[in-house]
Structure 1
Amino acid sequence: MTGLKNTLCSVMLLIFISSPAAAAEITLRFAGQFPEEHSATKLMREITDGVQSRTGGRISIEVYPANVLGDYTIIYEDLMRGAIDMALISIPSQFDPRLELVYLNPFVNYNAVKKAFRLDSWLSQKMDEYNTRLGVKLLGFNIEGLTGIASVKPINDPLAPESNKGVLVRVPLMHIYKAAIEAQGYRTVSVQYADAARALEEGRCDAVSSISADAAFTNLKGTMKYWYQLNYSQAVEPYLMSAKTWDRLSEEDIAIIYGEVGRASAKSIAQAKQNDRRNHELMRQNGIEVFTYSDAELLPLRRAIAENWKNLEPVMGRQLMNDARKHFLINVKH
């Protein structure tokens, strides 16, 4: 019996030693804000599996979804300090308001998104520059979908920026989103995303803006009655890495991580387009009125938002806004 126990112990020890976690030379903590079943969390796990496979288990990545390590502002601070290695989170702007640049362009469709969020694009280079100054490196982006407005009331003349819309709209605590919504003729109130559904239910606002159709249907389907797919920005989160982690990884390891994030980023764009169609249909099945528009129909709103960019110059900087006009409006016919 003693011999059998010793044999079993030896086998278990060998299994433990040969497992990827035990063999890992490097273990990275990867924080996210979405629940386990969300497509973004699934992509995080695909990145984890890809990196572990390509490094033969030498790098192990532990995924912490659903804000279990803190909300996106806390996670970003931990990235700056090196307490967390990687993250897929909304970008906080209290450390540098120019980080809101990622939400600026109103002339968006999925072709524009593919172009704007390539790692060699002007937008990506600026975002990497501003994050690097804070001790954080940009790895890529997760695209949730194009933005719209969920409402409990019908919106008056949604395509006419000069009209009184007749609703009070929740906006994120961000200068760019507030400016974009007000340029379209809405009265706004700033509410944290985590409190948006409750604010709508309690009547503290009539509508919730700056979210994707996926987020709207998932979080507001029991309350919202109307969905307006206005495409004035994109719901997007960056993949980030602490510069302290970056410095201790080899160039080969960084290249592997970039490659896996790049695959996940491309997949997110394809998924977002499919999710828009799927969620529009789910909304209709649940009695929600859905309004979609062509790029031509949305052009007056997009022009109004771009005209309002001058009011962002004190926060974002005049030179940055001038550069943004060149890059985002170059193909727009006025």
Structure 2
Amino acid sequence: MKSFKNSLCVLFLFLFLATCSEAAEVKLRFAGQFPKDHSATKFMYEIADGVKAKTGGRVEIEVFPANKLGDYTIIYEDLMRGAVDMALISVPSQFDPRLELVYLNAFANYDVLKKEFQPGSWLSKKMNEYNTRLGVKFLGFNIEGLTGIASKKAVRKPLDPNVNKGVLTRVPFMNVYKSAAEAQGYRTIALPYSDIARSMQDGTCDAVSSISTGAALADLGGIMKYWYQLNYSQETESYLMSAKSWDKLSEEDLKVIYAEVAKASAKSIEQAQQNDKRNLEQMKKNGVQVFTYSETELLPLRRAVMENWKQLEPAMGVQLMNEARKHFPIKEK
């Protein structure tokens, strides 16, 4: 009997040790702003699963979607303080206006997007530089899609930047969006994203700019009557990590996290391109008048937007804007 009891003790000890060996050595909190069924949130879960598998369970990432830990401005502050480890959020610019570089509205098509939003690109390096100064490490981009104008009224001569477009257009609370819209001839009003549907319904604004096809379908369905695919911007969020969390991780674990983020980022671009095509077709089925244009047709708008970058120089810096002009030159067709 004594021998049997000893055997049981040894068995329980092995089970205990096995359980402990499988427990995560590192646990990271990963905050997101989209609902659980959103594609961006699904990428977050894929990253968490990939990191867990590649590290043999040593690193465990817990995903908190749908602003459970606060909106993107709160989360960014928490990243700076180390209260949140990782995030996939829109990047606020109140801590450094140069962070608006990611929304500079200079990207014309998905080929350009794939080049400029890949790891190691000029844009990635700049975003890492400015985030690092705030105690946040940049990991990569998530792309929602190229943007356009959703309107309940017809826009006057949408390809002529010198014509008043005849619609009051909502823009986000960032100078790059206001500058780009006004350069194209739109009167603007800054409103929270959460208010766009109500604002279009009650006449506070006539149109919404800098919105992806997916967001327009989801949030403005039944309200928008016209869609103008202008491609002068892209809807994007950033994968970020608190520098305090980054410092605690081994080089090996950081490589795994970077690799999983890069994989998800590349998938987001491919998915966004497919979604844009599908969403435009769905808009047409819903009775929305859809207007798409060639790059040649869009050149006057792109030229006007870039000429208006001078308004951004006081906040963004002349040197940075000159770098941007060299990096994103106008290419005549």
Counterpart of 1:264 in 2: which secondary structure? helix
Matched, 1:81 2:81: yes
String of CA shifts for 1:43-62, please: whole Å, max 9, x gaps.
11100100000011111111
Q: Distance in 2 between matches of 1:145 and 1:73?
A: 22
The more displaced of 146-155 and 22-31 is 22-31
What is the TM-score with the length of structure 1 in the denominator? 0.93
Write out aligned runs for 1:193-204 (5 A).
193-204=193-204
**2:3 alignment partner in structure 1:** none
**1:67 alignment partner in structure 2:** 67
**2:273 alignment partner in structure 1:** 273
Write out aligned runs for 1:185-334 (5 A).
185-329=185-329, 332-333=331-332
The amino acid of 1:278's aligned partner reads R
CA gap 1:19/1:208 in 2 versus in 1, 3 angstroms: farther
The more displaced of 107-116 and 252-261 is 107-116
Q: Distance in 1 between matches of 2:214 and 2:310?
A: 31
**1:103 alignment partner in structure 2:** 103
**1:53 alignment partner in structure 2:** 53
The amino acid of 2:138's aligned partner reads L
Shift, 1:18, TM fit: 3.9
The amino acid of 1:49's aligned partner reads D
Shift, 1:333, TM fit: 2.7
Write out aligned runs for 1:154-193 (5 A).
154-193=154-193
Q: Distance in 1 between matches of 2:18 and 2:299?
A: 61
Question: Which has more radius of gyration?
Answer: 2
Write out aligned runs for 1:121-136 (5 A).
121-136=121-136
Shift, 1:17, TM fit: 6.9
The amino acid of 1:322's aligned partner reads N
What is the TM-score with the length of structure 2 in the denominator? 0.93
Q: Distance in 2 between matches of 1:152 and 1:312?
A: 30
Q: How many residues align?
A: 323
Shift, 1:36, TM fit: 0.9
CA gap 1:188/1:16 in 2 versus in 1, 3 angstroms: farther
Q: Distance in 1 between matches of 2:207 and 2:274?
A: 24
**1:3 alignment partner in structure 2:** none
What runs of 5+ residues in structure 2 fail to find an aligned partner? 1-7
Q: Distance in 2 between matches of 1:270 and 1:16?
A: 44
Q: Distance in 2 between matches of 1:217 and 1:164?
A: 26
RMSD: 1.9
What runs of 5+ residues in structure 1 fail to find an aligned partner? 1-6
**1:146 alignment partner in structure 2:** 146
Counterpart of 1:236 in 2: which secondary structure? strand
Q: Distance in 2 between matches of 1:15 and 1:50?
A: 26
**Contact between 1:105 and 1:328, CA under 8 Å: does it hold in 2?**
no
String of CA shifts for 1:169-217, please: whole Å, max 9, x gaps.
0000000010000000000000011222221122100001111101110
**Contact between 2:210 and 2:233, CA under 8 Å: does it hold in 1?**
yes
Counterpart of 2:87 in 1: which secondary structure? strand
Counterpart of 2:272 in 1: which secondary structure? helix
Shift, 1:225, TM fit: 1.0
Shift, 1:288, TM fit: 1.0
Shift, 1:19, TM fit: 9.3
String of CA shifts for 1:136-187, please: whole Å, max 9, x gaps.
0000000000010110111110001000111000000000010000000000
**2:5 alignment partner in structure 1:** none
CA gap 1:281/1:15 in 2 versus in 1, 3 angstroms: farther
The amino acid of 2:95's aligned partner reads F
**Contact between 1:171 and 1:177, CA under 8 Å: does it hold in 2?**
yes
**Contact between 2:80 and 2:134, CA under 8 Å: does it hold in 1?**
yes
**Contact between 2:152 and 2:224, CA under 8 Å: does it hold in 1?**
yes
The amino acid of 1:332's aligned partner reads K
**Contact between 1:108 and 1:234, CA under 8 Å: does it hold in 2?**
no
